[in-house]
Structure 1
Amino acid sequence: MTDSLLRIAALARHNAVLRRRDPGQFLSYLVMPMLLMSVLAPVFRRAAAGGSAQVVTGMLVIYSTLALSIVGTATLAERVWHTWDRLRVTRAGGAELLLGKTLPAYAVLLLQQAALLTYGAVVVGARPHGPAAYGLLAVAVAVWSATLLAVGNALAAVVRSFGELGAACDIGALAFATLGGALVPTSMFPAWLRPAAPASPGYWALSMLQAAMRGDVHRTLVPAAVLLIAGLAAGAFAVRRLTRAQGRTTLL
């Protein structure tokens, strides 16, 4: 166990250095939603009650989902550089390799979401209701970030280039976040589209975050359980694919 933790820590330190040297994506996915929150908040407040919470959680879900590219890039880079197979022949197992590669990205996701929620509370006025809400928000952010981490690695195990990864993240993020009600509440969807909303992870993330802000324990934990199941499935797929022949660096 100690040796395993040491290997994970060494990989995580190395990848944290790489992440610090390239903060561009992180800054983009942090500044843009802040600007949009400030611009759209008055519109959402006039449109419906709870508009401030809707715009803050909606922008958070959209831009945290777009940040899948940050997660996926960390793993895909090893395949593109043809170094993944070298890592696989070390004593580190597949799960250790993925943890070491992605823990810094997980920290980035946590920091991004915490910063956006803080900005939303201080500037936009979407404040959590009651002391319990802060703990629930911490749980919600941890679960949603873990789900994104698993999905990002699953994508990185399938795509063959950074272009494919970017397209999958951008199109998929906007599609799933929009379907989940991040831009427009699902109650305003056409009748034929509403039943499809629960198929989007963004729907469960939005429901979880909004319930956490209200301090609603039950409506926070149920979506959290759904997202954890989805994350475990995606993570298991990523580990299996990257530790077997499918994970070899045959990209071109």
Structure 2
Amino acid sequence: MTRFSVLVRHSAVLRLRDPGHLISYAVMPMVLMLVFKPLFAASVADGPTQAVLGLLVMFTVLALSIVGTSMLSERTWNTWDRLRATPATAGELLAGKAVPVFAVLVLQQAVLLVFGHYVVGMPAPVSPVLLGFAVLVWSLTLLAVGTAAATLVRSHGELSAVCDVGSLVVSSLGGALIPAAMLPGWAQAIAPISPGYWAMTMLRGAVEGQSSDVFRGAAILGGLAVVAGIVAVVRLDRGLSRLRG
């Protein structure tokens, strides 16, 4: 527990010293929610909900860069090898890096949901407990996938490409930018392969009180998080290569 608390405190300090990504990924979707609200209101019945949840999913996927950077920064500074030389296990190192970033992801979603309800006009969730559960599951999934990506890429440029392209693909196929029912037939057929599709299903189900949608999405995203977590731990145990550039 002493090692874990030290790692958490170290990671929290690093995040607080560089809050730029968190601020931008909270402010930009707020602006876009207000811009897209009339468009969605004119095209779908639940326009405000679509605008809020769609942009939330898109910008939380973009926030994978926050997750990845928390690890790549250590590799850039050549301090990761020093951490690995300590008695801390790979699991302890991952958990210590993960807790502050997990808090950032939850905070980002909470801010966007509160803004979406009081400013954009999204209906209040039927079950706040279900919505809180959905936010935690989605944050855990993003954390696991982002950490796995950070152990696989070899430069900050590669991480940016993965996050930028991934966010567009996940958001587009998931129905975040356009409701899934309005996608072309071929896109609707492959939409379930996108984590964004299940995030939208889970979050919308939480807002509408559809527990079956919430738990189905949570099961699929939870499985993805487990697989990504295993990849991250295995990569750390085998050792990470030097970064390029």
TM-score category (smaller protein): over 0.9
Match of 1:249 among 235, 242, 245: 242
Conserved 8 A contact 1:37-1:124: yes
One-letter amino acid matched to 1:201 = P
How far off its partner does 1:128 sit? Answer: 2.6
> 3-state SS of the aligned residue for 1:192?
helix
Q: Which amino acid aligns with 2:106?
A: L
Identical residues among aligned pairs (%): 51
Distance 2:35 2:143 in 1: 29
**Following TM superposition, where does structure 1 have runs of at least 4 consecutive aligned residues deviating by more than 4 angstroms?**
none
Letter in 1 for 2:157: G
Question: In the alignment, which residue of structure 1 is the partner of 2:230?
Answer: 236
What TM-score do the two structures reach when normalised by structure 2?
A: 0.97
> Which consecutive residues of structure 1, in runs of 5 or more, have no partner in the other structure?
none
The equivalent position to 1:10 in structure 2, one of 3, 6, 13, is: 6
The whole-number CA distance in structure 1 between the counterparts of 2:242 and 2:93 is 15
Are positions 1:70 and 2:63 aligned together?
no
- Say if 2:124 and 2:207, in contact at 8 Å, map to a contact too: yes
Superposition CA RMSD, Å? 1.1
Per-residue Cα deviation, 1:2-39 (whole angstroms, up to 9, x for no partner)? xxx22111111111111111111110000000000011
Partner of 2:138: 144
Counterpart in 2 of 1:200? 194
**TM superposition score normalised by structure 1:** 0.94
Tell me which residue corresponds to 1:102. 98
Work out the CA distance in 1 between the residues paired with 2:36 and 2:21. Answer: 22
| Rounded Cα–Cα distance in structure 2 between residues aligned with 1:119 and 1:197 | 28
- Where do 1:159-198 residues align within 5 Å? 159-198=153-192
1: CA distance, partners of 2:6 / 2:159: 26
Q: What is the deviation of 1:51?
A: 1.0
| Match of residue 205 from structure 2 | 211
Match of 1:249, as an amino acid? Answer: R
Q: CA shift at 1:243, angstroms? A: 1.9
1:21 matched residue in structure 2: 17
Distance 1:181 1:215 in 2: 19
How far off is 1:127 after superposition? 2.1
Structure 2 CA distance for aligned equivalents of residues 6 and 139 of structure 1: 29
Cα distance in 2 between the residues matched to 1:26 and 1:250? 24
Question: Are residues 194 and 182 of structure 1, via their aligned partners in 2, closer, same or farther at CA, if it must alter by over 3 Å?
Answer: same
Residues 111-161 of structure 1 show CA distances to partners (whole Å, capped at 9, x for unaligned) of: 00000000000001112343xx20011000000000000000111001111
**Residue ranges of structure 2 left out of the alignment (5+ in a row):** none
Paired with 1:173 and 1:144, the residues of 2 have a C-alpha distance of 14
